[in-house]
Chains A and B, each alone.
Chain A
Amino acid sequence: MTAKLILRKKEYEIRHGMTIRSALKKLEIPPESVLPTRGGELVSEEEILREGDVIRLVPVISGG
C-alpha cells in the first residue's frame, strides 16, 4: 500500500497516490536538493507515486 523513498542510507515509507513533490514536502526534504530516480532513470517530481514504487533520491547539493 506504500511507496519507498531512499535518500543516502535512509528509507522512508510513504502512501502512494501523491506526487513525489508532495511526498518530499511531507518528509521535509527540499525538492530542490534532490533528484528522484526510478530504476536508475530520472523522473519528474510531479510524477505520481505508484504502489510499490522505489524512488532513489540523488542528493544534488555539493560544495564547501
Chain B
Amino acid sequence: MAMRCRHCGQPAVINMRQHKLALCGEHFLAWVLKTTERTIEKYRMFSREDKILVAVSGGKDSLALWDILHRLDYRADGLYIGLGIDEGIRYSDESRTLTERFAEARGLHLTIVDVPGEYGVTIPEMAQRSRRGQGKPCSVCGLVKRHVMNRIARDGHYNVLATGHNLDDEAAALFGNTLRWQSGYLLRQSPVLEAAPGLARKVKPLVRFYEREMAAYALLRGIEYIEEECPFSVGAKSIAYKELLNQLEARSPGAKQGFYLSFLQAKKEGLFNLPSDEPDAPLHICPTCGQPTYAPGECAFCRMVAAVQR
C-alpha cells in the first residue's frame, strides 16, 4: 500500500525518515515554508524590515531559497556571479540563463556580476595564473565569490547576505573540520555570522533541510535549476563526505541531523568558545577595495587579482 500524507491521507511524495514524516506535495511545500520561517526566527536571522541579498548560483538550493523568501514576503534581491566556467558544458552560461529566467518570471531584482567581464580573466584562468589552489579553481572561486558578495552587499546597502547552504552542506563541512580538528573553522561554523564593520550579517536559512528536501521543493515548485554539477567539483572532498554521511543516514535515519544539530547545541553550551584572553583578531581595511581583512595591507583578493593581471 502506498505511503500516505500525515495531514490529508493522499499519496505521499516524500518520506522524511529523520522526522518520521511522510507528506503529499501540497503539505510538503507548506511544511518547507513553515520550517524556514521557524529557522529564521530561532536563529534571529532577519526580519521583514531587513534588506536581504540572496546569493544565487542557478542551483536548486539557492533558487529554492530565493523562492521561499519571496513567498514569505521578505525583501530579498538576488546576486548572480558569472565565473566563466565552460568546460564543454557551458556551465556558467547555463546557470546564468536559468537564474535570469527565474528572476524574470517572478519580477525579482537580480544583480549580475560577470567576473571575466570585470577582471578580464575567468575563474579557471585565475586559478592557473595564481599560486592559490595549485591549479584547482575551488579556493580561488571561494575567495572571489566572498569578495563580490561583500562588495555588492555593501554597495547596495543590504544588511543581510543569505546563502542556500543546506544541512548536508553543513554536516559535510563539519565532518571535514572535525576530521582535522580545525578549531578556527569549528568556531565560525554557524547558521548566522553576525555583521562586522563593512560586512553584512551572513545567514543560512536552509540549514534545517536535507539536500533531497530542497531538490524535492524545487521539483514540486517547477523551478528549473542546473542539475549538472560544477565540473571542478568532481572528486571534491565535500562530496565524498556527503556520500559517507548518506550511507550512515540510510542505516540510521536522523544521523546527519543529529551530528549537525548536536554540534550547534554543544557550541551554544560553550564547547568551542575562545579562551577569554584570546579576543577575535581585529580587522584591518584593504587600501585598494576598502573591504575588511585580517592582516594589514591589501586583502587576499586584491593581491591575487593584481598577480593574475600582471
Contact = CB atoms under 8 A, between A and B. Distances in A.
A30 B247 contact: yes
Highest count of chain B CB atoms <10 Å: which of A33, A35, A61, A62: A62
B189 to A, nearest CB: 15
Interface stretch (B9-17, B70-78, B124-132, B194-202): B9-17
Nearest to B220: A42
A46 B13 CA distance: 9
B215 A63 contact: no
Interface string B185-223: 000000000000000000000000011101110011000
Contacts of B14: 42, 44
B23 to A, nearest CB: 9
B238 A64 contact: yes
Interface string B136-172: 0010000000000000000000000000000011001
B138 to A, nearest CB: 6
Given A60-B212, A62-B60, A44 B11 contact: yes
B243 interface: yes
Interface string A28-48: 001111110100011111111
A33 B246 contact: yes
Given A35-B215, A42-B25, A44-B15, A64 B250 contact: no
A61 B240 CA distance: 10
A64 B138 contact: yes
A62 B246 contact: no
Interface residues of B, number: 38
A62 B212 contact: no
A52 interface: no
A42 B2 contact: no
Interface in B232-276: 232-233, 236, 238-239, 242-243, 246-247, 249-250
A46 B15 contact: yes
B217 to A, nearest CB: 10
Contacts of A63: 168-169, 172, 233, 236, 238-239, 242
15 contacts: A30-B243, A31-B250, A35-B215, A35-B219, A42-B220, A44-B15, A45-B15, A47-B3, A48-B2, A58-B219, A58-B227, A62-B229, A63-B169, A64-B230, A64-B233
Interface of A: 30-35, 37, 41-48, 58-64
